[in-house]
Amino acid sequence: MSQKVTKPITLALSKGRIFDETLPLLKAAGIEVLQDPEKSRKLILQTSKADVRIIIVRATDVPTYVEYGAADLGIAGKDVLIEHAATHPGALYQPIDLQIAQCRLCVAVPKGFDYEAAVRQGARLRVATKYVSAAREHFARKGVYVDLIKLYGSMELAPLIGLADAIVDLVSTGNTLKANDLVAVEDIMPISSRLIVNRAALKTRRAELQPLLDVFEQAG
Ligand code: ATP
Ligand code: PRP
């Protein structure tokens, strides 16, 4: 008699803070991850539950894996979700704010740069950021003209080296800004990570997903 092979539930996570902060949530559900992504080069990690596996992808790729159903679930920062939604509106179901990986999206400038005066005078600011959609929306709401320069990391360098007047970046302790003689001049929004779910899986695998959704619901 042929046995029906069911695909394990696949949860997409990024290495580092999201993986680290998700582990205790999984543990509370009795799910142990059997490999450490910091030590192993493996990208598919087994868990103590045969029907649940973890895939390790870049933070910015988590929404893509979930949208196309390669993963049923994922955990991604609001920053990443806003940028993804700009080109893929409504593609993901986002039921739960897990309150992990908390930080703020801010505008920052070099110490001594009079941001308020520049804005008042209607100067056209050059702003470097990885978060182009969130930044565009923020400055449009304020009625400030900006030229946005897309970067993929180390935004703090841009104003120090003459690439931009200001940056839009994530701030948590403020240590990175401080180390680079920058100051936050505007809070755009608080950021935390959310559970995201593939829309088709939500319908076709609801019964299998529900226990995990319940666990994350309790954590959120
Ligand atoms: P990628 O590798 O795709 O470029 P990344 O380097 O931003 O992404 P992480 O640094 O692991 O990936 O950040 C993952 C998420 O954690 C971010 O999307 C954000 O929501 C949150 N985050 C980023 N920096 C901080 C921080 N300093 N403190 C708390 N949470 C943060
Ligand atoms: C994030 C962000 C800032 C830093 C802010 O970088 O891009 O550079 O954290 O945190 P702080 O206010 O506590 O200093 P991250 O540590 O994720 O490095 P990465 O962007 O190179 O992954």
What is the rounded average pLDDT for all residues in the chain? Answer: 95
Residues 145, 204 share a domain: no
What span, in angstroms and rounded, lies between the C-alpha atoms of 103 and 116? 23
What's the gap in Å between 165 CA and the centre of ligand 2?
19
E strands, the chain, where? 9-13, 44-46, 52-56, 73-77, 92-110, 125-129, 146-150, 166-171, 182-198
Residues 24, 75 share a domain: yes
Range of the domain at 124: 103-191
Q: Is 173 in the pocket of ligand 2 (CB under 6 A)?
A: yes
Residues of the chain with pLDDT under 70: 1-5
Closest atom of ligand 2 to 172 CA is 12
Residues 198, 97 share a domain: yes
Residue type at position 149: I
pLDDT given for residue 119 in this prediction: 94
Residues 24, 44 share a domain: yes
CATH code for position 19: 3.40.190.10
Residues 6+ apart with CB under 8 A from 102: 172, 190, 191, 192
Q: Is residue 179 part of a domain?
A: yes
- How would you label 188-202 residue by residue, b for 16+ Cβ within 10 Å and e otherwise? beebbbbbbbbeebe
C-alpha 109: how far from chain center: 23
pLDDT in tens, 137-182: 999 999 999 999 999 999 999 999 999 999 999 999 999 999 999 9
Residues 177, 137 share a domain: yes
Q: Is residue 90 part of a domain?
A: yes
Residues 96, 156 share a domain: no
